[in-house]
Amino acid sequence: MTEYRSLGSTGLKVSQLTLGTMMFGAIGNTDHDDSIRIIHHALDSGINIVDTADVYSKGESEIIVGKALKGRRDDVVLATKVHGRLGDGINQAGNSRRWIIREVEDSLRRLQTDWIDLYQVHRPEPDTDVDETLGALTDLVRQGKIRYIGTSTFEPGQIVEAQYVARERHRERPVTEQPPYSILARGIEREVLPLAEKHRLGVLPWSPLAGGWLSGRIRPDGAHSTSSRAARQPERHDPSSSENARKTRAVLELTELADQAGLSLIHLALGFVLEHPAVTSAIIGPRTLEHLEAALGADKVVLSRDVLDRIDAIVPPGTTLNPADAGYQPPSLTDPLRRRRIR
């Protein structure tokens, strides 16, 4: 029987696995009927939370989800996100009031629903006042178009700022954070997860299989099977880089550990993420029914203290082996002009 966890301080109960739908549409499974079958199988298996985003295949993922939830909408906690670029116009992206108000209407239309349960800001935008963002989201809650708000891949200081501004300005406060988290990317253990516990945030980690690294595709000799992700994100997936070579070595050790524990590598990886007290539900992103089946049942996995200690020895707590897996780098690091006086 599926066990459900409280979503932060809300009254919602959600399954320990979240169905992520990034791989439904042009960049993954282009067969809408097959994608819908996968969604239905996930729901029939006890998953009750579905996560998507407006930018996934430029809205196609939301369209597929909308088709799949016909007649089942009331049983599903539906989450989507806003921020990413969806046009060439200078204002067709970001966290401004203008874009949020416009884009929520498009998401509602694509999802064929009157409300979104959890509307998340997909990435931070330091140049936009967080009060503007929270103000727009608060208005949408009061209009009944969204129920709760959340953030994704926010830095620790940004999480705290959003909580502070919400309290001081009487805005709706974010009730969830969706960060990257896996055995290979443990950086959020330093501050994000402790902050989530302090502020009673629900945590919905993305990429618990490290973008496929922990799916079993690396062979015992260290060779990598072909992956379309390598072309899209070479910094995360090119096995020749020193950072990814470290990941390969870790995966080989983790594969051996999983075998000794009588688990699949996928179940070891998901079980590890779900073990953290701050984590609510891990997002799985299947492209095929086989991918989904391989992940189901991970919420029943209980890792022994010995296994967890051995994972810590392979990848120490708080360590992200490749910084590219952190999901976000602030402009203060990526833009040299923000670090230099102009003379």
For residue 230, being part of any structural domain is answered with yes
Mean pLDDT over 160-185 rounds to 98
For residue 209, being part of any structural domain is answered with yes
Structural domain count of the chain: 1
Tokens encoding 115: 């409300």
pLDDT of residue 220: 76
Residues 6 or more apart from 253 whose CB is under 8 A from it? 314
**CATH code where residue 266 lies:** 3.20.20.100
d(CA 197, CA 195): 5
pLDDT of residue 341: 85
Enumerate the active-site residues. 56
For residue 343, being part of any structural domain is answered with no
> Domain range for residue 212?
4-334
d(CA 217, CA 240): 16
d(CA 70, CA 79): 16
Q: What are 93-103's pLDDT values in tens digits?
A: 999 999 999 99
50 burial level (CB within 10 Å; 0-12, 13-18, 19+): buried
Mean pLDDT over 154-166 rounds to 98
pLDDT of residue 141: 98
d(CA 131, CA 173): 11
Q: What are 226-275's pLDDT values in tens digits?
A: 666 666 788 898 888 999 999 999 999 999 999 999 999 999 999 999 99
For residue 129, being part of any structural domain is answered with yes
pLDDT of residue 343: 64
For residue 340, being part of any structural domain is answered with no
Mean pLDDT over 309-322 rounds to 98
Q: What are 202-223's pLDDT values in tens digits?
A: 999 999 999 999 999 888 776 7
Mean pLDDT over 1-15 rounds to 94
Q: What are 15-56's pLDDT values in tens digits?
A: 999 999 999 999 999 999 999 999 999 999 999 999 999 999
